[in-house]
Amino acid sequence: MNLVIQGLLTQYLDEGDRRSPVVLILHGWGTDAKNFDSLAAYLAGDFRVLRLDLPGFGGTEAPAGAWRVRDYAEFVARFLEKLNIIELRGVIGHSFGGRIVIKGLAEGILSARQAVLIDSAGITHPKTMRVQVYGLVARIGKRLLALPGISKFAPGLRRRLYRSAGSTDYLESGNLRRTFLNVINENLAPAAARITVPTFIVWGADDLDTPPSDGRILANLIPNSSYSLIAGAGHFAHNDAPDRVNPLVKEFLR
């Protein structure tokens, strides 16, 4: 289904009984609402489950400029307004979606009775030596690639560089590139400390994108939180181990 929010055509899914308490799910970077098919179906018996494709992903148009996490949170708030949702029983955020939850709740842009963070992003780390070297190469490369005659090969070379740096998100984002840089450079630790609602933090033990240590940092920052580590699951814990994650989430939201 579609809505127009802030001028952007927005695709969303609305499941479960309309009279049930509402749960909102926010997906991660580079995926879309469909990434939560399993959890949404599991929750739809007890809740009205709303999922939207965030701007730039799935069936939702990309933002016109470079957005920050706050802009995404505002967008989600407008989405809820448009559907006349007054109260959220819970808001679930995965990875980048988790950033939106943290920012939105901390700044009062979003409100929910409870929050769930699955392999959430938001904790920044000092740059490793490897990333610093790649950053230097990228800066020199940018100058070189602008030279006449070489500029033709720029896209291919740039792709190769970022692939070897392990940062394909940056490329996949296309015109969301500047938004992506805004997003990853914002440390949300201070915001997390301001979340007051009960928060359930669930993490894949084998998550390589946002390591389980990030989860523990968040659990320490958010006063009213519990932390659950899922063995054998990676960055997409809800899809890697739905049989364990789904019941935990449902139990928490009830």
Partner 1 sequence: MKTVAVIFGGRSAEHDVSIISALTSVIKPLELTGQYRVEAIYIAKDGSWYWDDRLKDIALYQSGIEDFCQKAPKVHLLFEDGLTLVKSSQFAGRKMYRHIDVAFPVMHGTYGEDGSLMGLLEMAGVPYVGCGVSAAAVAMDKVLCKQVTGAQNIPTAPWVWFLASELERNSKPILAEIAALKYPLFVKPARLGSSIGITRVTDSAQLMNALEVAAHFDDKIIVEQAVANLFEVTVPIMGNDQPVAALVEQPLTKPDDFFDFDAKYLQGGKKGSSAKTGSQGYSNIPADLPKALYEQAQSLALQVYRAVGCSGTARVDLLIDTQTEVVYFNEVNPMPGSLYAHNWRQKGISGHQLVTELIRLAFERHAARQRLETTFQTNFLKQF
Closest residue by Cα to residue 23 from 47, 2, 52:
47
What does DSSP say about strands 48-52 and 88-94: parallel, antiparallel, or unpaired? unpaired
Select the residue interacting with partner 1 from 3, 138, 161, 205 (CB under 8 A): 3
Binding mask 109-148 for partner 1 (x = CB under 8 A): ----------------------------------------
- The answer to whether the CB of 99 falls within 8 A of the CB of 122 is yes
**With respect to partner 1, which residue has the nearer C-beta, 60 or 95?**
60
User: Is residue 223 part of the contact set for partner 1 (CB under 8 A)?
Assistant: no
Q: Which is nearer to partner 1, 1 or 144 (CB)?
A: 1
CB nearer partner 1, residue 9 or residue 133: 9
Non-local (6+) Cβ contacts of 1 within 8 A are 11, 12, 13, 14
Q: What separation in angstroms does the CA of 138 have from each of 144, 191, 209, 215? A: 10, 31, 22, 31
48 within 8 A of 80, measured Cβ to Cβ: no
131 forms bridges with which residues in the sheet?
A: none
- Per CB under 8 A, the segment of 117-125, 150-158, 180-188, 237-245 that binds partner 1 is 150-158
Residue with smaller CB distance to partner 1, 177 or 244: 177
Which region holds residue 63: left if phi is over 0, alpha if psi is between -120 and 50, else beta?
Answer: beta
Tell whether residue 9 is a contact of partner 1 (CB under 8 A): yes
Give me the least distance between CB of 179 and partner 1, in Å please: 18
- 20-59: contacts with partner 1 (CB under 8 A): 59
Residue 220 phi, psi (nearest 5): -75, -35
Q: Which is nearer to partner 1, 84 or 128 (CB)?
A: 84
Contacting partner 1 (CB under 8 A), which of 18, 19, 143, 152?
152
Considering only residues 45, 82, 87, 108, which one is a binding residue for partner 1 as defined by CB under 8 A?
Answer: 82
Residue 174 DSSP label: G
Which among 1-9, 85-93, 185-193, 200-208 is the span making contact with partner 1, rule CB under 8 A?
A: 1-9
Two structure tokens written together for 152: 């033709």
Pairing verdict, β 88-94 and 114-118? parallel
- Give me the least distance between CB of 2 and partner 1, in Å please: 5
Residues that bind partner 1 in the complex, under the rule CB under 8 A: 1-4, 9, 59, 82, 84, 152, 155-156
